Amino acid sequence: QLDRGCALHTAARGGLSSVSTQDVPAERPRAVFHTSESDPAKHTEQHEGRLYNIPLEEVKAVFPHGLPYRFQQQIQTFNEARVMVRRPALELLAYLKGSNLAHPAVRYVIYGERGTGKTMTLCHVVHYCSRQGWLVLHIPDAHLWVKNCKELLQSSYNKHRLDQPLQASVWLKNFKTSNERFLQEIKTQKKYMWGKRESTEEGRPLGEVVEQGLARVRSASDAVGVVLREVKQQSHRGSFRLLVAVDGVNALWGQTTLRKEDKSPVSPEELTLVHNLRKMVRNDWSGGAIVTTLSQTGSLFKPSSAYTPHELLGKEGFDALDPFVPIPVANYSPREFESCYGYYLERKWLQHEKARTEDGKAELQFLSGSNPRQLDRLAGPL
Protein backbone atom coordinates (compact mmCIF):
# COMPACT_ATOMS: atom_id res chain seq x y z
CA GLN A 1 0.00 0.00 0.00
CA LEU A 2 1.40 3.34 -0.94
CA ASP A 3 1.60 6.06 1.65
CA ARG A 4 -1.39 8.30 1.12
CA GLY A 5 0.33 11.40 2.42
CA CYS A 6 1.39 14.34 0.39
CA ALA A 7 3.08 13.40 -2.85
CA LEU A 8 5.64 16.16 -2.63
CA HIS A 9 9.37 16.16 -2.98
CA THR A 10 11.08 15.64 0.36
CA ALA A 11 12.63 19.11 0.21
CA ALA A 12 9.18 20.66 0.06
CA ARG A 13 7.98 18.81 3.15
CA GLY A 14 10.20 21.01 5.30
CA GLY A 15 8.41 24.05 3.94
CA LEU A 16 4.98 22.44 4.42
CA SER A 17 5.34 22.08 8.15
CA SER A 18 5.64 25.85 8.48
CA VAL A 19 2.34 26.33 6.61
CA SER A 20 -0.53 25.37 8.87
CA THR A 21 -4.05 24.97 7.68
CA GLN A 22 -5.61 26.87 10.58
CA ASP A 23 -5.55 30.67 10.75
CA VAL A 24 -2.00 31.62 11.51
CA PRO A 25 -1.37 34.91 13.36
CA ALA A 26 -0.13 36.89 10.35
CA GLU A 27 2.78 39.30 10.39
CA ARG A 28 0.67 41.90 8.56
CA PRO A 29 -3.11 42.42 8.94
CA ARG A 30 -4.71 40.13 6.35
CA ALA A 31 -7.03 41.87 3.94
CA VAL A 32 -10.51 40.58 3.14
CA PHE A 33 -9.47 39.16 -0.20
CA HIS A 34 -6.76 36.91 1.23
CA THR A 35 -7.32 33.59 2.87
CA SER A 36 -4.81 31.68 4.93
CA GLU A 37 -6.34 28.34 3.88
CA SER A 38 -3.60 26.97 1.66
CA ASP A 39 -4.98 23.43 1.34
CA PRO A 40 -7.31 23.23 -1.68
CA ALA A 41 -9.20 20.34 -0.05
CA LYS A 42 -10.62 22.75 2.52
CA HIS A 43 -11.71 25.44 0.05
CA THR A 44 -15.49 26.07 0.18
CA GLU A 45 -17.92 28.70 -1.11
CA GLN A 46 -16.94 31.09 1.66
CA HIS A 47 -13.44 31.20 0.15
CA GLU A 48 -14.81 32.17 -3.25
CA GLY A 49 -13.14 35.26 -4.69
CA ARG A 50 -10.25 35.07 -2.24
CA LEU A 51 -6.60 34.46 -2.97
CA TYR A 52 -4.71 31.65 -1.28
CA ASN A 53 -0.97 31.31 -1.01
CA ILE A 54 1.10 28.40 -2.33
CA PRO A 55 4.57 28.22 -0.71
CA LEU A 56 7.33 28.67 -3.25
CA GLU A 57 8.96 25.28 -2.60
CA GLU A 58 5.63 23.62 -3.28
CA VAL A 59 5.29 25.59 -6.51
CA LYS A 60 8.66 24.29 -7.70
CA ALA A 61 7.74 20.71 -6.81
CA VAL A 62 4.14 20.58 -8.06
CA PHE A 63 4.42 22.91 -11.07
CA PRO A 64 7.76 22.41 -12.85
CA HIS A 65 5.72 23.18 -15.97
CA GLY A 66 2.10 24.14 -16.41
CA LEU A 67 1.76 27.63 -14.95
CA PRO A 68 1.09 30.41 -17.50
CA TYR A 69 4.14 32.57 -18.29
CA ARG A 70 2.61 35.82 -16.99
CA PHE A 71 1.78 34.10 -13.70
CA GLN A 72 5.37 32.87 -13.37
CA GLN A 73 6.60 36.45 -13.90
CA GLN A 74 4.12 37.61 -11.26
CA ILE A 75 5.44 35.01 -8.78
CA GLN A 76 8.96 36.29 -9.36
CA THR A 77 8.03 39.97 -8.95
CA PHE A 78 5.78 39.63 -5.89
CA ASN A 79 7.87 36.83 -4.32
CA GLU A 80 4.72 34.82 -3.62
CA ALA A 81 2.26 32.65 -5.54
CA ARG A 82 -1.38 33.64 -4.92
CA VAL A 83 -4.16 31.85 -6.77
CA MET A 84 -7.76 32.98 -6.71
CA VAL A 85 -10.39 30.46 -5.61
CA ARG A 86 -13.16 30.63 -8.19
CA ARG A 87 -16.47 28.88 -8.67
CA PRO A 88 -15.55 26.52 -11.59
CA ALA A 89 -12.59 25.20 -9.58
CA LEU A 90 -14.76 24.67 -6.49
CA GLU A 91 -17.30 22.80 -8.63
CA LEU A 92 -14.59 20.55 -10.06
CA LEU A 93 -13.11 19.87 -6.62
CA ALA A 94 -16.56 18.89 -5.31
CA TYR A 95 -16.99 16.44 -8.20
CA LEU A 96 -13.55 14.96 -7.59
CA LYS A 97 -14.18 14.56 -3.87
CA GLY A 98 -17.47 12.78 -4.51
CA SER A 99 -16.29 10.60 -7.40
CA ASN A 100 -16.32 6.83 -7.13
CA LEU A 101 -12.89 5.56 -8.17
CA ALA A 102 -14.13 2.06 -8.95
CA HIS A 103 -16.09 3.43 -11.89
CA PRO A 104 -14.43 4.34 -15.20
CA ALA A 105 -12.63 7.68 -15.19
CA VAL A 106 -14.88 10.72 -15.68
CA ARG A 107 -13.74 13.33 -18.20
CA TYR A 108 -14.06 17.01 -17.35
CA VAL A 109 -13.62 19.66 -20.04
CA ILE A 110 -12.98 23.22 -18.88
CA TYR A 111 -13.99 25.67 -21.59
CA GLY A 112 -14.49 29.41 -21.83
CA GLU A 113 -13.55 32.50 -23.76
CA ARG A 114 -10.00 33.70 -24.11
CA GLY A 115 -8.25 34.73 -20.92
CA THR A 116 -10.99 33.76 -18.44
CA GLY A 117 -8.82 31.49 -16.27
CA LYS A 118 -9.07 27.95 -17.64
CA THR A 119 -5.39 27.10 -17.17
CA MET A 120 -5.39 28.54 -13.65
CA THR A 121 -8.46 26.40 -12.77
CA LEU A 122 -6.57 23.36 -14.05
CA CYS A 123 -3.56 24.31 -11.92
CA HIS A 124 -5.78 24.66 -8.84
CA VAL A 125 -7.11 21.13 -9.43
CA VAL A 126 -3.58 19.78 -9.99
CA HIS A 127 -2.48 21.35 -6.71
CA TYR A 128 -5.42 19.73 -4.89
CA CYS A 129 -4.65 16.31 -6.36
CA SER A 130 -0.96 16.46 -5.57
CA ARG A 131 -1.79 17.48 -1.98
CA GLN A 132 -4.13 14.49 -1.76
CA GLY A 133 -1.40 12.16 -2.97
CA TRP A 134 -2.58 11.42 -6.50
CA LEU A 135 -0.20 10.66 -9.35
CA VAL A 136 -0.49 13.69 -11.65
CA LEU A 137 0.17 13.39 -15.38
CA HIS A 138 0.22 17.09 -16.31
CA ILE A 139 0.69 17.97 -19.97
CA PRO A 140 1.15 21.75 -19.89
CA ASP A 141 0.15 22.48 -23.49
CA ALA A 142 -0.70 19.79 -26.02
CA HIS A 143 -0.36 22.39 -28.80
CA LEU A 144 3.42 22.40 -28.28
CA TRP A 145 3.48 18.79 -29.45
CA VAL A 146 1.81 19.48 -32.82
CA LYS A 147 3.73 22.53 -33.97
CA ASN A 148 7.26 23.95 -34.16
CA CYS A 149 8.99 20.60 -33.88
CA LYS A 150 12.60 20.82 -35.03
CA GLU A 151 13.29 17.08 -35.07
CA LEU A 152 10.91 14.43 -36.31
CA LEU A 153 12.29 10.89 -36.26
CA GLN A 154 10.65 7.85 -37.71
CA SER A 155 9.52 5.70 -34.81
CA SER A 156 11.41 2.43 -34.35
CA TYR A 157 8.36 0.80 -32.73
CA ASN A 158 5.91 1.47 -35.55
CA LYS A 159 7.20 2.49 -38.97
CA HIS A 160 4.21 4.68 -39.79
CA ARG A 161 4.55 6.91 -36.75
CA LEU A 162 6.86 9.82 -36.01
CA ASP A 163 8.81 10.48 -32.82
CA GLN A 164 9.47 13.82 -31.17
CA PRO A 165 12.56 13.38 -28.99
CA LEU A 166 12.92 16.97 -27.71
CA GLN A 167 9.36 17.47 -26.52
CA ALA A 168 9.26 13.99 -24.99
CA SER A 169 12.50 14.45 -23.05
CA VAL A 170 11.41 17.86 -21.71
CA TRP A 171 8.12 16.34 -20.51
CA LEU A 172 9.88 13.37 -18.92
CA LYS A 173 12.23 15.68 -16.99
CA ASN A 174 9.30 17.67 -15.58
CA PHE A 175 7.32 14.50 -14.83
CA LYS A 176 10.27 13.21 -12.84
CA THR A 177 10.42 16.41 -10.74
CA SER A 178 6.75 16.38 -9.85
CA ASN A 179 6.21 12.66 -9.13
CA GLU A 180 9.47 11.47 -7.58
CA ARG A 181 8.09 9.01 -5.07
CA PHE A 182 5.77 7.21 -7.47
CA LEU A 183 8.68 6.42 -9.77
CA GLN A 184 10.20 4.15 -7.11
CA GLU A 185 6.94 2.51 -6.12
CA ILE A 186 5.36 1.59 -9.46
CA LYS A 187 6.91 -1.48 -11.09
CA THR A 188 6.85 -2.41 -14.78
CA GLN A 189 4.77 -5.42 -15.76
CA LYS A 190 6.45 -6.34 -19.01
CA LYS A 191 9.91 -6.43 -20.50
CA TYR A 192 10.62 -3.48 -22.82
CA MET A 193 13.35 -3.48 -25.47
CA TRP A 194 14.98 -0.17 -26.33
CA GLY A 195 16.75 -1.04 -29.53
CA LYS A 196 18.98 -4.10 -29.90
CA ARG A 197 21.00 -4.03 -26.70
CA GLU A 198 19.15 -2.07 -24.03
CA SER A 199 16.08 -3.36 -22.25
CA THR A 200 14.15 -2.88 -19.04
CA GLU A 201 13.19 -6.10 -17.20
CA GLU A 202 9.84 -6.86 -15.67
CA GLY A 203 9.41 -5.64 -12.11
CA ARG A 204 11.87 -2.75 -12.33
CA PRO A 205 10.75 0.62 -10.91
CA LEU A 206 9.28 3.10 -13.38
CA GLY A 207 12.13 5.50 -12.57
CA GLU A 208 14.40 3.34 -14.71
CA VAL A 209 12.17 3.79 -17.75
CA VAL A 210 12.25 7.56 -17.22
CA GLU A 211 16.05 7.51 -16.86
CA GLN A 212 16.28 5.48 -20.04
CA GLY A 213 14.14 8.03 -21.87
CA LEU A 214 16.25 10.92 -20.59
CA ALA A 215 19.57 9.24 -21.32
CA ARG A 216 18.69 7.96 -24.80
CA VAL A 217 16.79 10.86 -26.28
CA ARG A 218 15.99 8.89 -29.42
CA SER A 219 13.73 6.57 -27.48
CA ALA A 220 12.18 9.30 -25.27
CA SER A 221 8.78 9.19 -27.02
CA ASP A 222 8.60 5.43 -26.55
CA ALA A 223 9.54 5.88 -22.88
CA VAL A 224 6.62 8.31 -22.53
CA GLY A 225 4.34 5.72 -24.14
CA VAL A 226 5.55 3.04 -21.72
CA VAL A 227 5.02 5.31 -18.70
CA LEU A 228 1.46 6.15 -19.78
CA ARG A 229 0.65 2.50 -20.47
CA GLU A 230 2.00 1.22 -17.13
CA VAL A 231 0.28 3.91 -15.14
CA LYS A 232 -3.05 3.31 -16.87
CA GLN A 233 -2.92 -0.46 -16.36
CA GLN A 234 -2.05 -0.24 -12.68
CA SER A 235 -4.42 2.54 -11.66
CA HIS A 236 -7.44 0.27 -11.21
CA ARG A 237 -5.69 -1.66 -8.44
CA GLY A 238 -6.23 1.21 -6.04
CA SER A 239 -2.66 1.61 -4.83
CA PHE A 240 -2.59 5.13 -6.23
CA ARG A 241 -5.09 7.49 -7.84
CA LEU A 242 -4.33 8.94 -11.24
CA LEU A 243 -5.09 12.41 -12.55
CA VAL A 244 -4.58 13.10 -16.25
CA ALA A 245 -4.45 16.89 -16.69
CA VAL A 246 -4.19 18.03 -20.31
CA ASP A 247 -4.15 21.71 -21.27
CA GLY A 248 -5.26 22.44 -24.84
CA VAL A 249 -6.76 19.02 -25.49
CA ASN A 250 -8.18 20.23 -28.80
CA ALA A 251 -4.67 19.89 -30.27
CA LEU A 252 -5.01 16.10 -30.22
CA TRP A 253 -7.77 16.08 -32.82
CA GLY A 254 -7.00 19.09 -34.95
CA GLN A 255 -4.34 19.51 -37.62
CA THR A 256 -0.59 19.91 -37.25
CA THR A 257 1.78 22.32 -38.98
CA LEU A 258 4.49 19.65 -39.18
CA ARG A 259 5.61 18.14 -42.44
CA LYS A 260 7.49 14.97 -43.31
CA GLU A 261 10.65 15.07 -45.43
CA ASP A 262 8.62 14.71 -48.59
CA LYS A 263 6.64 17.84 -47.57
CA SER A 264 3.42 15.93 -47.01
CA PRO A 265 1.42 17.11 -43.97
CA VAL A 266 1.48 15.09 -40.76
CA SER A 267 -1.84 14.28 -39.14
CA PRO A 268 -1.96 14.10 -35.34
CA GLU A 269 -2.44 10.32 -35.07
CA GLU A 270 0.89 9.79 -36.86
CA LEU A 271 2.74 11.29 -33.87
CA THR A 272 3.62 8.78 -31.12
CA LEU A 273 3.07 11.25 -28.28
CA VAL A 274 -0.37 12.27 -29.54
CA HIS A 275 -1.36 8.65 -30.21
CA ASN A 276 -0.47 7.59 -26.67
CA LEU A 277 -2.15 10.60 -25.13
CA ARG A 278 -5.36 9.88 -27.03
CA LYS A 279 -5.37 6.38 -25.52
CA MET A 280 -4.89 7.96 -22.09
CA VAL A 281 -7.86 10.29 -22.49
CA ARG A 282 -10.26 7.44 -23.29
CA ASN A 283 -12.42 6.37 -20.38
CA ASP A 284 -11.62 2.66 -20.47
CA TRP A 285 -9.67 2.73 -17.19
CA SER A 286 -10.71 3.35 -13.60
CA GLY A 287 -9.14 4.71 -10.46
CA GLY A 288 -8.82 8.40 -11.30
CA ALA A 289 -10.08 11.31 -13.34
CA ILE A 290 -9.27 13.16 -16.57
CA VAL A 291 -9.40 16.95 -16.42
CA THR A 292 -8.81 18.78 -19.70
CA THR A 293 -8.90 22.36 -20.95
CA LEU A 294 -9.80 23.68 -24.36
CA SER A 295 -7.60 26.45 -25.66
CA GLN A 296 -8.00 28.59 -28.75
CA THR A 297 -4.83 30.60 -28.08
CA GLY A 298 -2.30 28.04 -29.25
CA SER A 299 -4.61 26.18 -31.59
CA LEU A 300 -4.02 25.75 -35.28
CA PHE A 301 -6.48 26.65 -38.03
CA LYS A 302 -9.26 27.61 -35.66
CA PRO A 303 -10.92 31.08 -35.74
CA SER A 304 -10.25 33.31 -32.76
CA SER A 305 -13.95 33.57 -31.87
CA ALA A 306 -14.26 29.80 -31.31
CA TYR A 307 -14.48 28.72 -27.68
CA THR A 308 -17.19 26.06 -27.36
CA PRO A 309 -16.20 22.37 -27.22
CA HIS A 310 -17.89 21.53 -30.51
CA GLU A 311 -16.10 24.30 -32.42
CA LEU A 312 -12.64 23.63 -31.02
CA LEU A 313 -12.68 19.84 -30.86
CA GLY A 314 -14.34 19.22 -34.21
CA LYS A 315 -16.50 16.18 -34.86
CA GLU A 316 -13.71 13.64 -34.31
CA GLY A 317 -12.55 15.11 -31.03
CA PHE A 318 -16.07 15.60 -29.68
CA ASP A 319 -16.97 11.99 -30.44
CA ALA A 320 -13.77 10.79 -28.81
CA LEU A 321 -14.32 12.83 -25.65
CA ASP A 322 -18.08 12.28 -25.46
CA PRO A 323 -19.46 11.81 -22.73
CA PHE A 324 -17.76 14.51 -20.65
CA VAL A 325 -18.70 16.99 -17.93
CA PRO A 326 -18.40 20.54 -19.32
CA ILE A 327 -17.24 23.22 -16.88
CA PRO A 328 -17.63 26.78 -18.18
CA VAL A 329 -15.29 29.49 -16.89
CA ALA A 330 -16.50 33.08 -17.11
CA ASN A 331 -14.99 36.53 -16.55
CA TYR A 332 -14.54 37.94 -13.06
CA SER A 333 -17.67 38.59 -11.01
CA PRO A 334 -17.75 42.05 -9.31
CA ARG A 335 -16.50 40.49 -6.06
CA GLU A 336 -13.61 38.71 -7.81
CA PHE A 337 -12.71 41.92 -9.63
CA GLU A 338 -12.60 43.82 -6.32
CA SER A 339 -10.42 41.09 -4.90
CA CYS A 340 -7.95 41.17 -7.79
CA TYR A 341 -7.84 44.98 -7.83
CA GLY A 342 -7.25 45.08 -4.07
CA TYR A 343 -4.45 42.53 -4.39
CA TYR A 344 -2.68 44.56 -7.07
CA LEU A 345 -2.95 47.67 -4.92
CA GLU A 346 -1.65 45.89 -1.85
CA ARG A 347 1.36 44.45 -3.70
CA LYS A 348 2.08 47.91 -5.17
CA TRP A 349 1.57 46.62 -8.69
CA LEU A 350 -0.75 49.52 -9.58
CA GLN A 351 1.64 52.47 -9.24
CA HIS A 352 -0.20 55.22 -11.18
CA GLU A 353 -1.66 57.73 -8.72
CA LYS A 354 -4.97 57.78 -10.62
CA ALA A 355 -5.27 54.00 -10.43
CA ARG A 356 -6.12 54.32 -6.73
CA THR A 357 -9.13 56.55 -7.41
CA GLU A 358 -12.69 55.42 -8.07
CA ASP A 359 -12.45 56.78 -11.63
CA GLY A 360 -9.35 54.73 -12.30
CA LYS A 361 -10.99 51.58 -10.94
CA ALA A 362 -14.13 52.13 -13.03
CA GLU A 363 -11.98 52.71 -16.09
CA LEU A 364 -10.00 49.50 -15.48
CA GLN A 365 -13.22 47.53 -15.08
CA PHE A 366 -14.68 48.98 -18.25
CA LEU A 367 -11.57 48.59 -20.41
CA SER A 368 -10.87 45.02 -19.32
CA GLY A 369 -14.52 43.93 -19.36
CA SER A 370 -13.69 42.04 -16.13
CA ASN A 371 -11.60 39.66 -18.20
CA PRO A 372 -8.69 38.40 -16.05
CA ARG A 373 -6.10 38.45 -18.83
CA GLN A 374 -7.08 41.92 -20.05
CA LEU A 375 -6.96 43.24 -16.51
CA ASP A 376 -3.50 41.80 -16.03
CA ARG A 377 -2.28 43.31 -19.31
CA LEU A 378 -3.81 46.71 -18.54
CA ALA A 379 -2.45 46.82 -15.01
CA GLY A 380 1.07 46.06 -16.27
CA PRO A 381 2.15 49.51 -17.44
CA LEU A 382 0.03 51.38 -14.88
CB of 372 to other proteins, least distance (A): 17
- Which among 30-38, 136-144, 236-244, 347-355 is the span making contact with other proteins, rule CB under 8 A? 347-355
Of 319 and 359, the one with the shorter C-beta distance to other proteins is 359
Q: Is 369 in the site for other proteins (CB under 8 A)?
A: no
How crowded is residue 263: how many other Cβ atoms within 10 Å of its Cβ?
6
CB of 363 to other proteins, least distance (A): 6
Q: Which of 300, 281, 299, 301 is nearest to 291 (CA)?
A: 281
* Amino acid sitting at position 184: Q
Q: Is 354 in the site for other proteins (CB under 8 A)?
A: yes
Output the DSSP codes for 217-268.
GGGHHHHHHHHHHHHHHHGGGSSS-EEEEEESGGGGGS----B-TTSPBPPG
Peptide bond into 323 cis (omega under 30): yes
- Which among 37-45, 118-126, 318-326, 351-359 is the span making contact with other proteins, rule CB under 8 A? 351-359
Among 19, 214, 217, 382, binds other proteins (CB under 8 A): 382
Q: Is 55 in the site for other proteins (CB under 8 A)?
A: no
Among 44, 73, 184, 233, binds other proteins (CB under 8 A): 73
Q: Is 79 in the site for other proteins (CB under 8 A)?
A: yes
Among 76, 158, 189, 233, binds other proteins (CB under 8 A): 76
43 within 8 A of 90, measured Cβ to Cβ? yes
Among 150, 196, 263, 348, binds other proteins (CB under 8 A): 348
Q: Which of 128, 121, 143, 123 is nearest to 329 (CA)?
A: 121
238 within 8 A of 216, measured Cβ to Cβ? no
228 within 8 A of 138, measured Cβ to Cβ? no
Of 98 and 381, the one with the shorter C-beta distance to other proteins is 381
What residue ranges bind other proteins (CB under 8 A)?
73, 76-79, 348-349, 351-355, 357, 359-360, 363, 380-382
